[in-house]
Amino acid sequence: MSVCATAAGAIEASGTQVGDRDAAAAAWYDGPMAEAALWICAALALSFLINLAPAFMPSTWMVLAFFYIKFDLPLLLLTIPGAIASGLGRLLLAKTSTLFKRRLLKGQEADLRELGCFLEERRNYVGLAVFLYALSPFPTNNLFIAAGMTEVGMTRVLVGFCCARILANTFWVWTTQRVFENLGGLFQTTFGSWVALVLQIASLSSIVLLYKVPWARWLRRFANRASNERPKAALR
């Protein structure tokens, strides 16, 4: 009888411990984990929105760093989806620039299409070039506006961008020491820093140059000259 009572007591105690663990797990899911998930979603939404703008927005890594430091969020769960969200925003920016070109830049549409064909012929280099450029701290709005205006295939552009930004954003968020009290202070840095303003103006200027300069003609001339010089060099 005592053995049965002891066994029953052990089972009851075990059940109580399991119940306590389940309650603790439920409290975790309902509390800190749910709150962290909400802040991550907010960071992703903001990352998507700022990448829709053609200029004068803070860098994505700065937005992610704000949420990372302010709310103590998991680094990789923030930076990996953050890079994808920013890439989707840039993709929509590229598609918008395509529509803008077709409606308002009909005079230069043939040149831009020819440039797009030139890049498509060398599509294997496009993804690598985007990857290397996106590793830098320079704005990428001009890159996607140009991609949309020339209508190059976006798959390699997007893959190169996201892969680079996963690495770059993770590094910058992990190493940054900048703390912003609120999102207003974060956005003020775009206009309060002359370096940021110069980079944004230079980025927009490159779009104007894309529209004004016959890049396709120049690039084809350069490529043809390089291909013609190779046989001569081989004969020497």
Q: How confident is the model at residue 88 (pLDDT cuts 50, 70, 90)?
A: very high
Give the C-alpha separation, 197 to 219, whole Å. 30
**Other C-beta atoms within 10 Å of 170: how many?**
19
Residue 219: per-residue pLDDT? 58
Q: Which of 90-104, 153-167, 171-185, 199-213 has the lowest mean pLDDT?
A: 199-213
Q: How far is CA 91 from the centre of its chain?
A: 10
- Greater model confidence, 56 or 15: 56
Q: Which residue has the tokens 């930004």?
A: 165
pLDDT digits (tens, 9 = 90+) for 103-139: 766 666 666 666 666 677 777 788 888 899 899 878 8
Residue 10 pLDDT more than 50?
no
Residue 57 pLDDT more than 90?
no
* Average pLDDT rounded to a whole number, residues 174-193: 72
Q: How confident is the model at residue 12 (pLDDT cuts 50, 70, 90)?
A: low
What is the Rg, in whole angstroms, of the alpha carbon atoms belonging to the chain?
26
| DSSP class per residue in the chain | -HHHHHHHHHHHHHHHHHHHHHHHHHHHHHTHHHHHHHHHHHHHHHHHHHTTSSSS---HHHHHHHHHHHHT--HHHHHHHHHHHHHHHHHHHHHHHHHHHHHH-GGGHHHHHHHHHHHHHTHHHHHHHHHHHHTSSS--HHHHHHHHHHT--HHHHHHHHHHHHHHHHHHHHHH-----SSHHHHHHHHHH-HHHHHHHHHHHHHHHHHHHS-HHHHHHHHHHHHHHHHHHHHH-
* Average pLDDT rounded to a whole number, residues 70-95: 93
Average model confidence (pLDDT) across the chain: 76
Q: How confident is the model at residue 7 (pLDDT cuts 50, 70, 90)?
A: very low
Residue 8 pLDDT more than 60?
no
Specify whether the CB–CB gap between 50 and 89 falls below 8 A: yes
Residues 6+ apart with CB under 8 A from 219: 115, 118
Specify whether the CB–CB gap between 175 and 64 falls below 8 A: no
Q: How confident is the model at residue 149 (pLDDT cuts 50, 70, 90)?
A: confident
Q: How far is CA 142 from the centre of its chain?
A: 14
For the chain, first and last CA: distance in Å?
A: 104
* Average pLDDT rounded to a whole number, residues 2-12: 50
Q: How confident is the model at residue 11 (pLDDT cuts 50, 70, 90)?
A: very low
- Greater model confidence, 161 or 141: 161
pLDDT digits (tens, 9 = 90+) for 61-74: 989 999 998 888 99
- Greater model confidence, 123 or 59: 59
Residue 79: per-residue pLDDT? 95
